[in-house]
Amino acid sequence: MKRAFTLALTVTVIGSLTVMGFAGTAAASGTASATAVVDQDQTVEQSNTATVNQQVEQQADQQAESGDSGIDIEIDLDLNGDRDVGGRG
């Protein structure tokens, strides 16, 4: 009885695998088709305008003569390195 049960299970497993194989073959034999269409149009218009109106007027009038400032500066140094700085106005 044990042998008969083993033989029956073996036949069942082989039969189910055969049926699954036929089903897989039938599903795979169909034709597949994929189509993709991309239609793209792009237009870019750009305009940049810059106007610069700049006017610079400069005038400088300087006059200087020696002794005109009224400031006298005296610096006295002695040999020891002491400094005496004085200003008179």
Q: What is the pLDDT of residue 89?
A: 46
Cβ proximity of 60 and 72 under 8 Å: no
Answer whether residue 85 shows pLDDT above 90.
Answer: no
- Rounded to two decimals, what is the model's pTM? 0.30
Handedness of CA 10, 13, 19, 25 (dihedral sign): negative
Identify the residue whose tokens are 């005038």. 59
Segment 50-75, tens digit of pLDDT: 888 777 777 666 666 665 566 666 76
Question: Residue 44 corresponds to which amino acid?
Answer: V
89 SS3 class: coil
Segment 6-44, tens digit of pLDDT: 999 999 999 999 999 888 877 776 676 788 899 989 898
Of the candidates 72, 66, 68, 75, the one whose C-alpha atom is nearest the C-alpha of residue 89 is 72
Q: Which has the higher per-residue pLDDT, 56 or 79?
A: 56
